[in-house]
Amino acid sequence: MPRIITVGAAQLGPIARDEGRPAVVARLTRLLEQAAGHGCDLVVFPELALTTFFPRWYMAEQAEVDRFFEREMPGPETRPLFEAARRLGVGFYLGYAELAEEDGRTRRFNTSILVDKQGAIAGKYRKIHLPGHDEHEPWRRFQHLEKRYFETGNLGFPVFRAFGGHIGMAICNDRRWPETYRVMGLQDVEMVLIGYNTPVHNPPAPEHDDLSHFHNQLVMQSGAYQNGTWVVGVAKAGLEEGVEQIGNSIIVAPSGEIVGRCTTLGDELAIARCDLDLGLSYKRSVFNFARHREPDAYRLIVERKGAIPPS
């Protein structure tokens, strides 16, 4: 019996700074209802899907920053989305800014959750690769202060048994690092869900701007193929508070082929039927880790300091 998950990549267009949670949750719910109408089991929303991408601004007052965070999940304003999931029998991945009281202190993470078809949280992930900087850098057209506003994730890259398979999560910049996929690949992940907010322009390296779509696809197609897993990448896209963000949301098969994609820069649903067993063809042959990986040999290479000088 094939294990098929019908996935909806639910791309979002811009979210304005003053767009309230209820209006955003209404947009998310509309996409969830659309997905249910097409028989989706699972919907993937972007990173920080409840607010505008606020790390683009320097804010001196912590109280102003904290307005973009959720103190509880679900809370009064997000509960309607969980209730819709339960009513429709469709699960979802949601990225949001998490403010948690843990270990006797206030902690702030760039977080994603996996919610099952009963509307219950089945897994949580906190972003590990935080790009950008932590002090105001006025030379930039816009800031990227994730290192200021968030702590590095402290949950590792867990893989959850859900939706009849092994589901992992990552967030935005994580998708650019091969370790992200391999750490989950070593846990036999079968589908990696990734939300992102990616400006076209990267101030420290403007020469990459024209390659933003190519790099976006390259990293997710490679991660999928090299670990025999599905990868779903979903954007918050379009001109958001003056910053052009890429769309290019895609659904990638374990072969590395793109089987679904969004083509606009707005709220848009791309759908694909994902057979989780397609990954086996790669995990049992070219990427059979048990037979072909050589972790002991890698350790030798890693311990070597720099290139070997000519003898």
Q: Which residues form the interface with ligand ING (CB under 6 A)?
A: 131, 172-173, 176, 196-199, 202
- Give min distance, CB of 299 to ligand ING, in A: 29
Closest to ligand ING by CB, 182 or 201 = 201
Contact, 171 vs 110, CB < 8 A? yes
172 is a catalytic site residue: yes
40, 127, 190, 268: the active-site residue: 127
- Give min distance, CB of 276 to ligand ING, in A: 26
Contact, 235 vs 12, CB < 8 A? yes
* Cα diameter, the chain: 70
Closest to ligand ING by CB, 97 or 172 = 172
- Give min distance, CB of 172 to ligand ING, in A: 3
Closest to ligand ING by CB, 95 or 168 = 95
Rounded to 5 degrees, φ, ψ at 6 are: -85, 115
127 is a catalytic site residue: yes
Closest to ligand ING by CB, 22 or 206 = 206
47, 70, 98, 146: the active-site residue: 47
- Give min distance, CB of 267 to ligand ING, in A: 19
40, 70, 98, 172: the active-site residue: 172
47 is a catalytic site residue: yes
Contact, 133 vs 43, CB < 8 A? no
Closest to ligand ING by CB, 142 or 289 = 142
- Give min distance, CB of 296 to ligand ING, in A: 32
**Rounded CA gap, 111 and 57, in Å?**
19
Active site residues: 47, 127, 172
